[in-house]
Structure 1
């Protein structure tokens, strides 16, 4: 079993492995066949977690970028690294269009490039859900070995295209055809998708149905055919309505931030002017 022959449903099954505590040397079985062996569980100080699965006969590696542990299942360390230091700053930056990138995303870039360098003749397949999707999106915008990456499947993450600079956007456009970005508009975490162009990868608009938020976020609305093909739809009024709402909040958030910034600058100028007057009066 290898990544090239997987159905959409099997790819979701692979992506879900990122939430399991995979151990090095653990053999992964998929559809009753060996899929690979866990080579590494990379866990950095800033909370990035990535599993490397090796399929030596196929000369391919599967990289699973782990999503958030969740509020209930997490611990003080994951709450800090995944939520306070990464997820919430990303949401804040998207709302106010500040372009600030948390440290964990930069670490994802270094780790991805390092792993690619360690296996120069291999092919790589990337998976990421939620926070994992965020890390994959940013890491790809700074990837130095795109030729080694055959495919990336990212699920239910916010669209950080809006936080990328011009150079980073140009980079991700080079390999748009290799990245499949799955979006369920009923998922409250999925924000910033306004069309099929301004995003990392190709848009895969999921034909979903409304569920409770957590279930929705964890692939709950995904539906597959008998052959494992994901049911998707073309951009419609529902998608455009959600996109327009996201644009409204980002636009107003940016203007609010600018107003607050301008007010702060004005107050600072008044203080400087007042100090200069006092100094002049003393002279």
Structure 2
């Protein structure tokens, strides 16, 4: 099973808008890599348009033994037919935008649970049928826009046993349908998400992906993009996506510690793919420069991830410390005011002595806690400085290998 980069997965998803014929091969990377063959084309009355791609051409009409030989399947759910096609494809535009898109937008905005539009239901039946007819296959599901909703719903509507055969779900620029799912469907979606099998890519500059927000549950792990601003249509059609040298999407990781870990794993995965490329070109062997470069780059990916996580923690702690320092000072002022109220017959020094007899002092309430906060912050800052030094040494090691092999320069990050 090939581990595709984000850029390759976007290219796979883009194929859902092609007009394929049955038995036609599906290829990516300038036709260098074959995903499989179109074995089924769906064009249902609900408006669902989808492709079933098998590792070898094996249609549903094939004998059971042949269908049992299929090991890997990709299901592509097509998004809405463009409004600009209303004259040529009036029926498709009506089914997509009126019967399904508008209906689901209303249900998502009102959190209406348990009933979805016809196209989502038929898409779920498509996936169930694929799993039934190809009993030994592992399945990946892709969808963009309305196709994303179809894919989200299809994987969520599976039985527990069938869900175990989902290899991955990749949903792009579609609304968040989680609130419309039943409790049993949410259980399946949550289970697949917790296993890291479902990924929901969202470019926040696109107006179509509604229903997302801080802490809101969704089908899949949210992949928030650090995108560039382009025109409305292009924004929706992956036009704002940006990638690193390994084909991984650039992420909006601000205040999202879990995304830093994901980003680190993606970079390490990219390095593993690069190592495979080097091994092929080197007849199964790595040059010394390549080996040191790969090891140092992996160390850099891990260290950068830790440093970014640490910086996020430091920023959060600074805010918390400042709040606690303010609270401590307020508490001390309140304690003194209470002492003045209840001990109006005492002078200031007697009031402070009375507070101290109950171990209420400026030292215990303000000075001591503040010193602890500052000590903790100092430890974190020291660790951050140490990581900076480690990074500098790693980058020097990487640069020294690039001097020996200029080809490596293109893989710097």
Distance 1:215 1:30 in 2: 21
**1:212 counterpart (198, 221, 231):** 231
Cα contact 1:120–1:148 (8 A) shared by 2 = no
SS for the counterpart of 1:234 is coil
The answer for the alignment partner of 1:257 in structure 2 is: none
Aligned-pair distance for 1:102?
0.8
Distance 1:187 1:90 in 2: 17
Q: Greater strand share, 1 or 2?
A: 1
Q: How many residues align?
A: 235
Q: Name structure 2 gaps, 5 residues minimum.
A: 57-68, 257-413
The answer for the alignment partner of 1:28 in structure 2 is: 26
The answer for the alignment partner of 1:166 in structure 2 is: 183
Q: Name structure 1 gaps, 5 residues minimum.
A: 238-283
Query: RMSD between aligned alpha carbons?
Result: 1.8
The answer for the alignment partner of 1:37 in structure 2 is: 37
Q: TM-score normalised to the size of structure 2?
A: 0.55
Q: State yes or no: 1:87 paired with 2:106.
A: no
- 4+ long deviations beyond 4 Å: none
Cα contact 1:8–1:229 (8 A) shared by 2 = yes
Aligned-pair distance for 1:16?
0.1
Distance 1:91 1:235 in 2: 28
The answer for the alignment partner of 1:63 in structure 2 is: 75
Aligned-pair distance for 1:130?
0.3
Cα contact 1:127–1:153 (8 A) shared by 2 = yes
Distance 1:236 1:68 in 2: 33
CA deviation string 1:70-126 (max 9, x = no partner): 100342111221111000001111223333411111111111101111111111111
Aligned-pair distance for 1:211?
1.8
**1:120 counterpart (120, 135, 146):** 135
Aligned-pair distance for 1:162?
1.6
Aligned-pair distance for 1:166?
2.2
Q: TM-score normalised to the size of structure 1?
A: 0.79
Distance 1:29 1:219 in 2: 19
**1:156 counterpart (169, 173, 198):** 173
Distance 1:165 1:233, change over 3 A: same
Distance 1:29 1:86 in 2: 30
**1:203 counterpart (222, 232, 252):** 222
The answer for the alignment partner of 1:275 in structure 2 is: none
Distance 2:180 2:35 in 1: 35
Distance 2:228 2:255 in 1: 14
Distance 1:45 1:140, change over 3 A: same
Cα contact 1:196–1:202 (8 A) shared by 2 = no
Cα contact 2:109–2:211 (8 A) shared by 1 = no
